[in-house]
Chains A and B, each alone.
Chain A
Amino acid sequence: MGMFKKKWSPRDADRWTWEDTITVVISPVIYVLILVGCALAALLKPVGFILVIIAIALTVIMIGIINPKLTAISEDYEKKQKDYMEELERKVKWED
């Protein structure tokens, strides 16, 4: 078994799980690390490079955690999208 859950049923993927919680915590941290790290690295400060490396590592982890779930949500939704689209057009024409 891998580190991260790779197979998601559409029903499970639609639930808020610890994968979502971890992602919304890691994601802003990555932005902070990149903001500070790139500025300091551009002035060749070693701490800047360290922060950028940590940010890259966290990005890889975040993708591993959330991408399979996003894929499952997407695939399930695409099957229904055509019907939803027709409904939307009916609404804009005041038919719905």
Chain B
Amino acid sequence: MVVFTFLDWFWLIAFIVLMVGCGVRFYRLGKRSESDFFLAGRGLPWWLPASSVYATHTATDTPMWVAGKVYKLGFTGLWYTFYAAWCAISAFVSTKIFRRSLAYTQAEWQSLRFGGMSGELLRGWVAGWQVFLNMFILGWVGIAMGKVCGFVFGWPLWIGLIVFSSVCAIYVLAAGYWGVVMADFQQGIIALIVIVIVSFWGIHAAGGAGEIISRLEAMGEAGKLNPFNFTGFFAGDFPVAWFITMLIIGILGGLGMGTAIDWFPEAQRIQSAKTVKDASWSIWAGSLLVIIRNSLWAAAILGFFVLYPDIQLTKDYEMAWFRLGFENLPPGMIGFFFAAIVAIHISTISTHLNLGAVYITRDLYHHYINPRAGQEKLVWVGRVGTLILLLGSFVFGSIMENITEWLIFALWIMAAGVWLPGILQVVWWRFNGWGYLTAWVFNLVFSWLVVWVLPAFGVLPHLKDYQQFWILMILGALVFIPVTLASKPENMDHLVKFYVMSRPIGWWGPVKEEARKRGLI
């Protein structure tokens, strides 16, 4: 447990008042319309969504995740965090296309890209899935905060889960996305400052950079300094085959939409940018900050490894970065550090509260239940949606210990079999809604078979995650490509309208030709 001085409490309370106040201050802007409550009126300069991208993806569980990988694998562990690289290409490809579609959400995009029944089915499915997923992420991140509070104050897990998410909900309920993005900007700055201070403080506490390197060499662990310390092409903890798969998933995924779980919050930030150019640079710069942050953490974790090389349990060494801060910062700074952890935490919570609510409001309520709803009513539905997500997250958080394995599986299967369709929907005109729906459905079937059922009966060996990815991708393609080709193409009027507005890249020849004939481009 950590003992707080008066100054520590001062930092914590001052930061919470500042963060909540900063969010609530935008109440008048947030309540104006659906567009304001969920997209800040589509008027933000690039650096605001960029800071929100960075702040959102800096959660309480992120330093635990990075520490878990880097403590065990050294700098090679950094590549597990490199999935953010999808933004490197997306910023200049799918971000542009998505921003031009003007879709509030990825679910709405489905009905713009695909017409008729299949487009509507996809919209409903993606909206429902996103409501569930955001609730799950809120529970996951919330329980990570519970663990940090348990470590710092000895509190039971539920206190950390409920208290800080509820504090955050005050400004999300009041000001919607305006509150989220303005608080994110300020939280992002606080988080970045503290990550730099604590990481370098940790390196200093381990004896400095030179001492860390020489002690790693003396321990026979110099390989931890090499980011390309492969263990073989297929063998070991860091095979080349995994690395290549990760690069392909991460980087080429940027050509599509929904190829990474982070696409969905990014989609909201893309639409909140005031121009296409602002959207592109916001995604690129925000993800660059994420990558820099990971590198600083990794260097500090190696310092922690030098100090405590014999920790065996993952749950213990996952706390490395937090321990560097709490065990080494002077009194008075501990509260500053904890306040920054709160900032890190609620920046993620606020995003997912508002993001889940946009799917409830825009895609489920506005589109399917009450298409004639006025702006005031839509904002109130957004608030009710926010509250539902908050309460649901408490339920998820409280049972997280028991269901994590299953839910990680759920996240994984949603990425593997729909990765390629996520790209095809952007780059291939002939890919249709039935093909995409088939990909989702069969991915569920195949992933259960490949990951759980067939290995349990000895039909398949237990495969590594990158092997599962390739198998699921190929099996899915064997079904959704024939289904696509056997069913009718999307209606040409619908495709032309979509093409003229969004200008997708790739194989759109017939649609482009038709648009040209009609004098639309």
**A43 with B225: CB separation less than 8 A:** yes
Count how many chain B residues have C-beta atoms less than 8 Å from C-beta atoms of the other chain: 56
**Is A16 interfacial (CB 8 A cutoff)?**
yes
Please report the C-alpha to C-alpha distance between residue A28 and residue B212 in the assembled complex, in whole angstroms.
Answer: 29
Q: Which of A14, A44, A84, A92 counts the most chain B CB atoms within 10 A?
A: A92
Within 8 A of B (CB), among A33-63: 34-40, 42-45
**Is A1 interfacial (CB 8 A cutoff)?**
no
Knowing A44-B210, A92-B367 are in contact, say whether A35-B78 is a contact too (CB < 8 A): yes
Within 8 A of B (CB), among A69-84: 70-71, 73-74, 77-78, 81, 84
**A27 with B295: CB separation less than 8 A:** no
Please report the C-alpha to C-alpha distance between residue A37 and residue B203 in the assembled complex, in whole angstroms.
Answer: 17
**B295 with A84: CB separation less than 8 A:** no
Knowing A24-B93, A27-B88, A34-B288 are in contact, say whether A70-B251 is a contact too (CB < 8 A): no
Interface of A: prevailing SS: helix
Please report the C-alpha to C-alpha distance between residue A81 and residue B75 in the assembled complex, in whole angstroms.
Answer: 45
In the assembled complex, which residues on chain A have CB atoms less than 8 Å from the CB atom of B100? 77
CB distance from B466 to the nearest CB of A (A): 19
Knowing A39-B298, A44-B209, A91-B111 are in contact, say whether A28-B288 is a contact too (CB < 8 A): no
CB distance from B423 to the nearest CB of A (A): 13
Within 8 A of A (CB), among B182-204: 199-200, 203
**A31 with B85: CB separation less than 8 A:** yes
Q: Which of A20, A27, A45, A66 counts the most chain B CB atoms within 10 A?
A: A27
In the assembled complex, which residues on chain A have CB atoms less than 8 Å from the CB atom of B84? 31
Q: Which of A39, A40, A45, A94 counts the most chain B CB atoms within 10 A?
A: A39
**A93 with B291: CB separation less than 8 A:** no
**Is B261 interfacial (CB 8 A cutoff)?**
no
Knowing A34-B295, A74-B276 are in contact, say whether A84-B92 is a contact too (CB < 8 A): no
Please report the C-alpha to C-alpha distance between residue A27 and residue B275 in the assembled complex, in whole angstroms.
Answer: 20
Please report the C-alpha to C-alpha distance between residue A38 and residue B362 in the assembled complex, in whole angstroms.
Answer: 41
In the assembled complex, which residues on chain A have CB atoms less than 8 Å from the CB atom of B78? 35-36, 39
Closest to A39 in B: B295
CB distance from B57 to the nearest CB of A (A): 14
Q: Which of A44, A77, A81, A87 counts the most chain B CB atoms within 10 A?
A: A77
CB distance from B192 to the nearest CB of A (A): 13
CB distance from B410 to the nearest CB of A (A): 28
Please report the C-alpha to C-alpha distance between residue A82 and residue B284 in the assembled complex, in whole angstroms.
Answer: 26
Knowing A38-B295, A43-B302 are in contact, say whether A74-B275 is a contact too (CB < 8 A): yes
**A16 with B288: CB separation less than 8 A:** no
In the assembled complex, which residues on chain A have CB atoms less than 8 Å from the CB atom of B251? 28
**B276 with A38: CB separation less than 8 A:** no
Please report the C-alpha to C-alpha distance between residue A68 and residue B371 in the assembled complex, in whole angstroms.
Answer: 40
Please report the C-alpha to C-alpha distance between residue A38 and residue B292 in the assembled complex, in whole angstroms.
Answer: 6
Knowing A35-B78, A91-B111 are in contact, say whether A73-B277 is a contact too (CB < 8 A): yes
Please report the C-alpha to C-alpha distance between residue A85 and residue B100 in the assembled complex, in whole angstroms.
Answer: 10
CB distance from A95 to the nearest CB of B (A): 8
**A42 with B295: CB separation less than 8 A:** yes
**B505 with A16: CB separation less than 8 A:** yes
Instruction: For A73, give its contact among B75, B96, B102 (CB under 8 Å).
Output: B96
**B227 with A74: CB separation less than 8 A:** no
Closest to B227 in A: A36
**A39 with B227: CB separation less than 8 A:** yes
Knowing A27-B92, A27-B284, A73-B277 are in contact, say whether A42-B85 is a contact too (CB < 8 A): no
In the assembled complex, which residues on chain A have CB atoms less than 8 Å from the CB atom of B103? 88
**A28 with B367: CB separation less than 8 A:** no
**Is B372 interfacial (CB 8 A cutoff)?**
yes
**Is B503 interfacial (CB 8 A cutoff)?**
yes
| List of 9 A-B pairs having minimum Cβ-Cβ separation, nearest first | A42-B299, A38-B295, A39-B295, A44-B209, A28-B88, A74-B277, A27-B88, A74-B275, A93-B371
Listed in ascending order, the chain A residues whose CB lies under 8 Å from chain B are 14, 16, 20, 23-24, 27-28, 30-32, 34-40, 42-45, 66-67, 70-71, 73-74, 77-78, 81, 84-85, 87-88, 91-94
12 A/B residue pairs, CB under 8 Å, sorted by A: A31-B88, A34-B288, A34-B291, A35-B82, A36-B295, A40-B75, A42-B203, A42-B300, A71-B277, A73-B277, A84-B102, A87-B497
